[in-house]
Each structure stands twice: as C-alpha cells, then as structure tokens.
Amino acid sequence: MPKFVWTILGAAVLLLASGGAAPPRTAVTQRIPQFENAEVKVWRSVVLPNAPLAMHRHEHPRVIVPIVGGDMKIVQQTGESEMNHWETGKAYWLTASAPGTMHADVNAGTKPIEVVVVELKKAQ
C-alpha cells in the first residue's frame, strides 16, 4: 500500500484516538466525514446495536481501524451474512463490493462500534 495511505490512516487514527478535533461521540448510527482528496476518502462510522447502516456498496477497497471494536454482521441484500470480530486498534483490509451487490452493517453486540474507514479512490 502506498506510503501516503499509511500516513493518512495513521493521522486519522491518532486524531480520533486522542480526542483532538474529532467530532463528539454520537448516539445515532451514522457516517461522519473526516477527510477527502483525489486519492482517499476517510470517514468515521458509528453503528449502534439494533440500528444498522442502510444498504450500501463500496466502489473501492478500504482499510478500517476500529476505534471501539465489536462484532459486526455484514448482511447482503440476498440475505446471506457473515460475522466479523473487529478488535480495537487493529487494521483490516476490505475489498470493493462485487458488482451489483449491496450490504448493510449490523452491530451484533450490545455497545456502539466505531471505525475509521480509509477508502482508496484510485486503482493500484
């Protein structure tokens, strides 16, 4: 992965983990924009239990870093699902969505999950 992606990812994680200029904690499931340029798009997702993100897709691959980890169920529009355990502070690689597919992120735990997402806009 290009060095600039790691630099941006590291800065985003440090900023959010330190409580710097990050937006305040939220009580609703949402995406909170953090940074965007021609190379990457960065946002923070907060997913509350029993309040999934709406069906969506990802045109580009991305790295996620849980600020507050937990168990996330990814439910495809077909009804198929997979469970992911995301540890706080550990980075995960997620590929782009397959053509014509959509999914919802469902927090399978009892506490909010927060992740920083760094989406790569350009093909490598």
Which contiguous run of DSSP H or E holds residue 117?
strand 113-120
At 69-116, the pLDDT tens digits run: 999 999 999 999 999 999 999 999 999 999 999 999 999 999 999 999
Q: How many domains would you assign to the chain?
A: 1
Which residue range is the domain that position 95 belongs to? Answer: 3-120
pTM for the structure as a whole: 0.76
Predicted confidence (pLDDT) at residue 11 exceeds the cutoff of 70: no
At 35-51, the pLDDT tens digits run: 999 999 999 999 999 88
d(CA 51, CA 64): 20
List, in sequence order, the alpha helices (H) in the chain.
3-18
- Alpha carbon dihedral 107, 104, 57, 54, in 10-degree steps, equals -100
- Read off the CATH number of the domain in which 87 is found: 2.60.120.10
